Chains A and B, each alone.
Chain A
């Protein structure tokens, strides 16, 4: 018995080492570039060029200051915060109300309207880019944050409606019926009963939309050209990456990137569970 058992066990030991090896390797592939970015944000340009693997000689926060004010990363950061606050609020409000109607009410054209929304999931945004540019321009919203907020919300509706409709359907109907019997109106029912009950779903989707809007680059690049005082963070970083190619200020670029990554990292670590479930749940349904 033991004689047969032993080689098997040894073989498993080897696969265990191997599997851990691969897991570690991929972990390193993920972490190293990011770690290198953070370390380089403290280095001087001479240090960066001389030895990519070297440690920074001192914690040079002036790199960060140069990125924050010199490259206007600070301003873009604030711009993004303002726009994303508006767009996430609008997306959640519109998404939740539409989804609630789709999930809870029967009316003519419901299927059609629902599939109109969900159909938008299929196509990449860049296909609509050219006409969108003109729609936004003829609405007088070109180069404005209002335009950006509306467009972000519009393009987030397919997934938000899809996800929240499924979520509202899972909520028990008995509570809603009881509230109606008690004389609550339909509006009151939604805001006082259904919305609080849907909180877990709303939080997941809120984080999902926040990350998407915060990271958005294509839409501002097209709809917010020109006036660089209004730019979003992603635009500022892209410009910084391009200008680094000419100016050779590596440290400033790394500092800018690090400044952009840190808040996302914090949100991610704190809300990890919701982020992962929010981002993956839609695909599992």
Chain B
């Protein structure tokens, strides 16, 4: 019967592999090669310039400015999103009134989860366009509310002091629901008896969360951290559509830098690829660091 498995392996594996290598693997590899040229795009002319692009990158203030914003995103978005996600997931799965049944979720928990998760299924384009209107200086929901209580809000996305923080907030807003559901699913795998036992011992909710829930969810939290870190180093489309890096580069991120360098007025493909290569290694090291730093004694249930 062992006979005849190779025709299947070949027909099943070769087309996907081919597609994947041509459109995914080869572009990533080519990025490295292009990054060492002075290719200006649409012409065929591309001379090797060694590491000149990377040297120029090192002295490029715009890139550093964008990178600084990415670092702020990297520092805040995962922390805020995971904290809110854990908080709401805990509320939903054990915030309920305690009767004889022990630990219960709040009433309407499924409904909350459904609502919270919804932004996750929306396109970034819709999220960006919607929040751009919500934060609109005159006709926006936000300033309209402030006006109703007699305050006057700034022109959020048009103000260099606020634009970046608005984008950051929208990023958190769009992601929290996903992690509420993710953590909720992981929490439901924790045996109820553990909670009942510690609550009987008189532990407060905060202690329970810190000492029981988070250690038991550690693997999930770690995965969440990595995903959010990668998202924070990206953040490209949201920024491009909400502020396009402005005003005056105050909300610029590396993705926008790269896109403008490649597809903006200059089409510096070599330089843009160099930015891409740097980001590639940054993303990789952040992921590896997150894995390393998060390593803990694994707690087995059952």
Contacts and interface: CB of A to CB of B under 8 A. Distances in A.
Given A126-B258, A154-B20, A264 B30 contact: no
Interface string B79-121: 0000010011001100101100000001000001111111111
A100 B12 contact: yes
Contact of A215 (B15, B125, B144, B283): B125
B131 interface: yes
B1 A180 contact: yes
B217 to A, nearest CB: 11
A132 B259 CA distance: 13
Interface of B: 1, 4-9, 11-13, 15-17, 19-20, 22-28, 30-31, 34, 84, 87-88, 91-92, 95, 97-98, 106, 112-126, 128-134, 138-141, 143-145, 148, 173, 176-178, 181-182, 185-186, 205, 220, 223-224, 227, 230, 233-234, 236-237, 241, 255, 258-259, 262-263, 269, 272-273, 276, 279-280, 283-284, 287
Given A122-B287, A124-B283, A187-B8, A23 B234 contact: no
Interface stretch (A28-36, A56-64, A67-75, A197-205): A28-36
A145 interface: no
A175 interface: no
Contact of A268 (B12, B13, B118): B118
Nearest to B279: A127
Chain A binding surface, main DSSP class: helix
Contact of B122 (A22, A49, A126, A264): A264
Given A240-B129, A241-B125, 10 more contacts: A105-B5, A123-B284, A128-B276, A130-B269, A131-B30, A132-B23, A154-B23, A161-B16, A257-B130, A280-B182
Given A26-B88, A131-B27, A268-B121, A19 B181 contact: no
Contact of A241 (B25, B132, B279): B132
A181 B1 CA distance: 8
A10 B227 CA distance: 40
Given A130-B272, A284-B182, A51 B144 contact: yes
Of the listed residues A34, A95, A155, A190, the one surrounded by the most CB atoms of chain B closer than 10 A to its CB is: A34
A131 B213 CA distance: 45
Contacts of A133: 262-263
Of the listed residues B141, B177, B283, the one surrounded by the most CB atoms of chain A closer than 10 A to its CB is: B141
A275 B139 CA distance: 34
A97 B15 CA distance: 10
A6 interface: no
A8 to B, nearest CB: 10
A191 to B, nearest CB: 11
Contacts, number: 263
Nearest to B174: A30
Nearest to A248: B139
A130 B273 contact: yes
B205 A30 contact: no
A100 to B, nearest CB: 6
Given A126-B258, A128-B24, A26 B116 contact: yes
A157 B24 contact: yes
A264 B19 contact: no
A36 B129 CA distance: 13
A153 interface: yes
Given A238-B129, A257-B126, A94 B15 contact: yes
Contact of B123 (A29, A53, A161, A234): A234
A222 interface: yes
B23 A131 contact: no
Given A129-B276, A283-B224, A97 B116 contact: no
29 contacts: A20-B95, A22-B87, A23-B112, A30-B115, A33-B130, A52-B141, A94-B15, A97-B15, A97-B16, A98-B17, A116-B20, A126-B259, A129-B276, A130-B258, A130-B262, A131-B31, A135-B26, A151-B23, A154-B20, A187-B8, A211-B121, A218-B236, A234-B123, A234-B125, A253-B133, A257-B130, A261-B122, A275-B121, A276-B113
A37 interface: yes
B128 A241 contact: yes
Given A154-B23, A234-B125, A283-B220, A23 B132 contact: no
B134 A97 contact: no
Nearest to B147: A52
A36 to B, nearest CB: 5
A261 B13 CA distance: 37
A226 interface: no
Contacts of B115: 27, 30-31
Given A32-B141, A126-B255, A120 B125 contact: no
Given A49-B139, A131-B31, A30 B133 contact: no
CB-CB nearest 4 A-B residue pairs: A52-B144, A215-B123, A154-B23, A131-B30
Contacts of B118: 30, 34, 265, 268
B139 A280 contact: no
A15 B4 CA distance: 65
Contacts of A167: none
A135 B17 contact: no
